[in-house]
Amino acid sequence: MKCWHCQEELIWGGDHTYEDYCISGEGIVTNLSCSNGACDVEQVLVYAGDQDADSSEGEAISPEKA
Residues 6-25 close enough to bind Zn ion by CB under 5 A? 6, 8
Least separation, in Å, of the C-beta of 5 and Zn ion? 4
5 forms part of the interface with Zn ion (CB under 5 A) = yes
Of the candidate residues 17, 36, 44, 50, the single one contacting Zn ion (CB under 5 A)? 36
Stretch that binds Zn ion, among 14-22, 34-42, 46-54, 57-65 (CB under 5 A): 34-42
Q: What is the DSSP string of 22-58?
A: T-SS-EEEEEEEES-TT-S---EEEEEE---TT-TTS
